[in-house]
Amino acid sequence: MEAPSALNLSGEQSVAKGVLKSYYEPGLFEAEGNVKEKFSVIDTETNWNDEVMSIGVVVADSITLKEIDALYYIIDPEYKVGGMYANALRFGEKGVCVTSRKQALKEIKQWLEKYSVQKLFAYNACFDKKHLPEYSEYEWYDIMRLAAYRQYNRAIPDSADCYKTGRLKWGYGVENVLRMLSGNNRYTETHNAVLDAKDELQIMQLLEHRISEYDIALISDRKAPVKRIRERENAVEGEINKKII
């Protein structure tokens, strides 16, 4: 028997075709035929065998960076293996769906297509991209590429220990960065896939960068020489420093 589809987590109501577009999602159309671009933030949690046991996905508006919708899947049977954060799976989470990896990825892809999403963002995105090779056709961007650098994260204190490139030497995980940006020292990362995806979107919101500024965070499948990567980073960061000065 096929597992049921995951429920939407945003509380949106479905409407019949022909109803005014603005009823369902105000601002979706700036003008007839001009659909606002959307992006997605995705997070995965793995079991003791390094297999994906849960996936959380959030869709947001590329202009406002505000959340539009979210999905949460627990992968069966992988979750049964257990893992470091198995206690954070939250089977009672609103809209959770427990199903196979194949079915979950199929439904998530259909859902992303509904929103015309082409860009996937994640914190330490190389990890999530590696664990979701089925989504290699999407453009993957690493939020950490901006959040961990002084040039892009003005919340990093002057006393912070950074490399010459501007990157923090330590303390640049989701929990530390979100505490830094929000000023909430009580914040604790849940390691629940959908809640973490929402937190990572919040990091993007607090950084206040346009989506286009994440172009430097695009993960390429082709491995460029380290020297060229560093030269590119230094060139981009040099331009940012000029703007700051």
DSSP annotation of 50 reads S
Instruction: Provide the residue count of the chain.
Output: 245
So what's the pLDDT on residue 56? 98
Say if residues 82 and 48 touch (Cβ distance below 8 Å).
yes
For 75, residues 6+ apart whose C-beta sits below 8 A from its C-beta are 51, 52, 53, 54, 55, 98, 99, 100, 101, 104
For residue 243, is pLDDT > 90?
no
Residues 215, 131: Cα–Cα separation, whole Å: 22
So what's the pLDDT on residue 11? 43
Distance spanning both ends of the chain, measured CA to CA: 62
Name which of 68-77, 92-101, 126-135, 202-211 the model is least confident about: 92-101
Residues 194, 93: Cα–Cα separation, whole Å: 10
State the virtual CA torsion across 165, 169, 175, 177 in degrees, nearest 10: -30
- Secondary structure element (H or E) that encloses residue 54, with its range: strand 52-61
Name which of 19-33, 44-58, 160-174, 192-206 the model is least confident about: 19-33
Name which of 89-98, 117-126, 200-209 the model is least confident about: 89-98
So what's the pLDDT on residue 94? 84
Q: How confident is the model at residue 17 (pLDDT cuts 50, 70, 90)?
A: very low
Average confidence (pLDDT) over 156-166: 96
Residues 121, 168: Cα–Cα separation, whole Å: 20
Q: In whole numbers, what is the pLDDT of the chain averaged over residues? A: 84
Structure tokens at 242: 């000029």
For residue 230, is pLDDT > 90?
no
So what's the pLDDT on residue 217? 98
Of the candidates 70, 122, 73, 75, the one whose C-alpha atom is nearest the C-alpha of residue 101 is 75
Annotate 101-137 with DSSP letters as a single string. HHHHHHHHHHHHHHTT--EEEETTHHHHHHH-GGGTT
Q: How confident is the model at residue 26 (pLDDT cuts 50, 70, 90)?
A: very low
Per-residue pLDDT tens over the stretch 47-104? 999 999 999 999 999 999 999 999 999 999 999 999 999 999 999 888 899 999 999 9
Regarding predicted confidence, which is higher, 57 or 240?
57
For residue 224, is pLDDT > 70?
no
Q: How confident is the model at residue 233 (pLDDT cuts 50, 70, 90)?
A: low
So what's the pLDDT on residue 109? 98
